Amino acid sequence: QVVAVYGTLSDLLSVASNKLGIKATSVYNGKGGLIDDIALIRDDDVLFVCEGEPFIDPQTDGRPHEGLTGSHTDWLTLNVGGRYFTTTRSTLVNKEPDSMLAHMFKDKDAWGNKQDHRGAFLIDRSPEYFEPILNYLRHGQLIVNDGINLLGVLEEARFFGIDSLIEHLEIAIKNSQPAEDHSPISRKEFVRFLLATPTKSELRCQGLNFSGADLSRLDLRYINFKMANLSRCNLAHANLCCANLERADLSGSVLDCANLQGVKMLCSNAEGASLKGCNFEDPSGLKANLEGANLKGVDMEGSQMTGINLRVATLKNAKLKNCNLRGATLAGTDLENCDLSGCDLQEANLRGSNVKGAIFEEMLTPLHMSQSVR
């Protein structure tokens, strides 16, 4: 019979009962899956209704599937964690014949006496996670109610060995994860973060993305920016005293007049940055450490850098005009084509540094060959 499918499953059973002259109680799809929700029915589905007897594929001329005996189509009840589920052996066996559930219920006596007082087979698992698995075995669709954790269903599917469902669940879990947000942190967001953090707490910002942010004139003392992205940031007049900028990306940033006393910038990348008029000199004797930093093309004109550690740093084409580099460590530093005119290099260690093409005119302290430059 051809019937219109509408309303609820009860409406469909009522129409089928009238059309076929039977008392229809169950609806199956063409593969023998029990349909318990009308939403699972597609436009081109061929449905089978019955008065409660097991599904038998008409293409087998009324004979059960090969390997299916009456024991496989018996109705049975499962007690899963205190909740009862009624199903058939064929549902538990046919779709995933190699699963644990299939092996558990292939034979009538597989569970021996593991039944409760009502005769239900006892399974010590979570009922809320078992329900989507049973429905999947019934109709082949993964349907999970709101509020059910997919990870819990996945663990149950793995426990019962429902391999085809495991793949569906892994895809569903992956699609449900929010996309990673790599967008830069704005000044407004960061200021709110600063205000919510106690002043005595260590603020850890390792690896965060501040690219292009305006962080000028902020108090950023002692903050850990290790490996953070601070490229093209405006840090002018910011207080970065004792901040950790190790391996941070400061390329193209503006740090003019920033307080960099005791800053740690080991192996940082500040290529093309502007650090004019910065103060690296700490009266307490704490030395700023820029060892191994990439400072190609930086403009550090007029900065106070007494005792700074620039060992093996790269300052090629940098502007250090009128800088105070007294007592600075410049051993192995690349100063090629660097403008050092007007600098104070008294007691500076230039051993092994590359000063090819560097400009030293109008130096406040003469450069002595004993300092072993190359």
Q: 160-209, pLDDT tens digit by residue?
A: 999 989 988 988 888 877 656 568 888 998 998 888 887 767 788 999 99
pTM over 0.85: no
The owner of tokens 């409760």 is 116
pLDDT at position 59 is: 54
What pLDDT, in 10s, does the model give residues 345-355? Answer: 999 999 999 99
Asked if pLDDT for residue 227 goes beyond 60, the answer is yes
Share of the chain above pLDDT 90, in %: 49
Give the pair of three-digit tokens for residue 125.
Answer: 């698992």
Asked if pLDDT for residue 214 goes beyond 90, the answer is yes
Taking the C-alpha atoms of residue 175 and residue 211, their distance in angstroms, rounded to an integer, is: 28
pLDDT class for 263, splitting at 50, 70, 90? Answer: very high
Residue 241 burial (10 A CB sphere; 0-12, 13-18, 19+): buried
Map out the domains of the chain as residue ranges: 1-60, 74-177, 181-373
Taking the C-alpha atoms of residue 183 and residue 181, their distance in angstroms, rounded to an integer, is: 6
3-state class of 204 per DSSP? strand
pLDDT at position 64 is: 44
pLDDT at position 27 is: 82
CATH number of 74-177: 3.30.710.10
CATH domain 181-373 topology: Pectate Lyase C-like (2.160.20)
Share of the chain above pLDDT 70, in %: 86
DSSP string covering 281-322? --TT-PPPB-TT-B-TT-B-TT-B-TT-B-TT-B-TT-B-TT
What pLDDT, in 10s, does the model give residues 247-257? Answer: 999 999 999 99
| Single-letter code of the amino acid located at 140 | G
Higher pLDDT, 333 or 106: 333
Average pLDDT value for residue range 310-320? 96
Asked if pLDDT for residue 304 goes beyond 50, the answer is yes
Mean pLDDT highest for which of 93-107, 141-155, 251-265?
251-265
Higher pLDDT, 365 or 96: 96
3-state class of 349 per DSSP? strand
Q: Are strands 75-80 and 121-123 parallel, antiparallel or unpaired?
A: parallel
Same fold, 74-177 and 181-373: no
What pLDDT, in 10s, does the model give residues 42-98? Answer: 776 788 888 777 666 655 544 444 444 444 457 888 999 999 999 988 888 888 888
pLDDT at position 66 is: 43
Task: Provide the mean pLDDT of the chain.
Answer: 85
Q: Measure the CA dihedral 46/50/54/55, to 10°.
A: -10
